[in-house]
Amino acid sequence: MNKRTTMTALIGVVLAILPLLVGSKYYQHMLVIWGLYAVYALSLNVVIGYLGELNFGHAAFFGIGAYTSAILTTRYGVPVVSGPLFAALVTGLIGAVVGYLSLRSTGPQFAILTLSFGSILFTIVNYWVDFTRGPMGITNIPPFSLPFLKIDFTQARNMYYVVLVAVAITAYGCFALMRGHSGRAFIAVRENPQLAASLGINIFQTKLLGFIGAAALAGAAGSLYAHYLSVITPDMMGLQGVAAVIIMVIIGGKGTIVGPMIGALVYVCLLEVLRATGPLRMVSFGALMTLCVIFLPGGLISIWRRHMNETRLAEAGNTTVEHP
């Protein structure tokens, strides 16, 4: 326990001083994008990792959160600092409706259902041009701002700290959640629904709660994304966006906290690094992704875990296995 807390604290310190170590604006920008995706991936992880269901409509929540915040701040003069809150509320509500209709199914049926709902939401945003400006997207979204403090959040290095706080809150929230009663209910529902039901856990309610929480979190992340990029288009909710966040969670390692964060980092870095391959960029990405999926089904975090287990086993010198 202590070792873990110290490790986390150290990582936290490194993350906090990262923008200072990294001089270039380009890298600072990539750090912000990474942070936003980390929160986004962590939110999907609640459904995929903790609840054990594959949600293919999650990008819609990210997008709607972005659009809610964008529309409220550009058209109705709502203060930017409350943007993520409203975004979370709206997406939470929509998440409740989608979850209510979808969570009665499981497995592939649930995946396709959520894909359909995600597509419905995408279509609405894309074609309700009068409200959302359709494919042209929303522009001139005001940057994030805190009341009374004159900090320029168009600068990546400043926005990074806002995002880092969001990541920290989310990560801690997941940690606390899984340690608590609800977390154990999630695991029970995921591993053995019949047994969980026999213990008096209301499967449907448990799943719905997790689903709504995940949606609201994605919405908040989307709102921050909108205020950083200042332009959003429906593409963020399209098939590419859907695939991206799922890739992050599963390649990083579902069901863990560090996993989705690593997945987000790899996704962002890999795409940038692969620019060097020119026209082969996306093909390389697809190939690497598939290889990772085939050979590392537990995600990248499983390499670390395997290593930690081996070290621990070597030290202990016996065959008892500790739970990681």
Partner 1 sequence: MKSSNFTAATIRTSVLAIGLALGFSNGVHAQAKPPIKIAAIVPLSGAGAFDGQLGLEGMQAMAEIINAKGGILGGRKIELITYDDKGLPEEGVSATKRAIEQDKVDAVVGGWFSAVALVMKEATRDTMLNFMTSAQHPDVTNKGHKYMFRVNATSTMMSDKYSKFICEKIKPKSVAFITVNDDYGRLEVENYTRLLSACGIAVKGNEFYNRNDTDFTTVLTKLRSLQPDAIYVSAINTAQGATIYRQIKQTGFKGTTIASAGNMNPKLIELSGSSLENVYSVSLFAPDLKNPTADQWQAQYQKMFKNQPAFIGSLGAQSVELIAAAMDKAGDAHDYNKVSTVLKGQKWKTLLGEMSFDDKGQALQNLYLIQVRKGKIVKVD
Partner 2 sequence: MPLPLDLKGATLDFILLGQQLANGIANGMGYVLIAVGLTLVFGVLRIVNFAHGAFYMLGGYFTYFAVQSFGVHYLLAVAIAAFLAGMCGLIANQFFFRPLRKEHEFIILLSSLGLSILLTNGSELLFGADPKYIESGFADATLDIGPVTVTQQRLLIFVLATMALAFVYWFIRRTRYGKMMQATAQHPEGAALTGINTNFVHAYTFVLACALAGLSGALVGPTAMMFPTVGDWAVLKGFTVVVIGGLGSISGACIGGLLLGIAEALGGGYISQGFAEAIGYVLIVVVLIWRPQGMFGISRGHKS
Q: Given the rule CB under 8 A, which residues bind partner 1?
A: 3, 6-7, 10-11, 14-15, 18, 21-22, 24-27, 29-31, 33, 126-127, 129, 133-137, 139-140, 154, 229-233, 235-236, 240, 265, 269, 272-273, 275, 278-279, 281-282, 308, 311, 315
283 touches partner 2 by CB under 8 A: yes
The 3-state DSSP class for residue 138 equals: strand
Supply the DSSP symbol for 1: -
| Residue 20 interacts with partner 2 (CB under 8 A): yes or no | no
Q: Out of partner 1, partner 2, none, which partner does residue 68 contact, by CB within 5 to 8 A per kind? A: none
Subset of 97-126 contacting partner 2 (CB under 8 A): 101, 104-109, 111-113, 115-116, 119-120, 123-124
Q: For residue 59, which phi and psi values (nearest 5 degrees)?
A: -60, -30
Residue 149 φ/ψ, nearest 5 degrees = -105, 130
CB of 44 to partner 1, least distance (A): 18
Continuous H helices in the chain: 2-21, 25-45, 58-75, 83-102, 107-127, 129-132, 156-179, 181-191, 193-198, 203-229, 239-252, 258-273, 281-295, 301-316
133 backbone φψ class: left, alpha, beta (φ>0; ψ -120 to 50)? left
Contact call for residue 77 and partner 2 (CB under 8 A): no
Tokens of 130: 């009068």
Rounded distance, CA 262 to CA 218, Å?
Answer: 17
Site size with partner 2, rule: CB under 8 A: 39
CB of 106 to partner 2, least distance (A): 5
Cβ proximity to partner 2: between 216 and 247 the closer is: 247
205 binds partner 2 (CB under 8 A): no
- Of residues 10 and 293, the one with the C-beta less far from partner 1: 10
Q: Which does 9 bind (CB under 5 to 8 A by kind): partner 2, partner 1, none?
A: none
Q: How far apart are CA 196 and CA 209, in angstroms?
A: 16
Long-range contacts of 111-120 (CB under 8 A, 24+ apart): 111/53, 111/54, 111/55, 111/56, 112/56, 114/54, 114/55, 114/56, 114/57, 114/58, 115/56, 115/57, 115/242, 116/57, 117/57, 117/60, 118/56, 118/57, 118/58, 118/59, 118/60, 118/237, 118/242, 119/57
Q: How far is the CB of 276 from partner 2 (least distance, A)?
A: 16
Give the residue with the Cβ less far from partner 1, 276 or 294: 276
Question: Is residue 201 near partner 2 by the rule CB under 8 A?
Answer: no
Among positions 228-267, residues that touch partner 2 (CB under 8 A) are: 239, 243, 246-247, 250, 254
Q: Which is nearer to partner 1, 97 or 283 (CB)?
A: 283
Question: Which C-beta is closer to partner 2: that of 56 or that of 153?
Answer: 56
Nearest distance from C-beta of residue 135 to partner 1, angstroms: 5
Name which of partner 1, partner 2, none residue 60 binds, using a CB cut-off of 5 to 8 Å depending on partner kind.
Answer: none
**Following DSSP, what letter does each residue of 68-105 receive, concatenated?**
HHHHHHHHS---GGGHHHHHHHHHHHHHHHHHHHHTTS
The residues with which 232 forms a beta bridge, in sequence order, are: 138
287 binds partner 2 (CB under 8 A): yes
Under rule CB under 8 A, residue 270 binds partner 2: no
Nearest alpha carbon to residue 126 among 118, 116, 134: 134
Q: Which residues bind partner 2 (CB under 8 A)?
A: 48, 54, 101, 104-109, 111-113, 115-116, 119-120, 123-124, 127, 193-194, 239, 243, 246-247, 250, 254, 279-280, 282-283, 285-287, 289-290, 293-294, 297
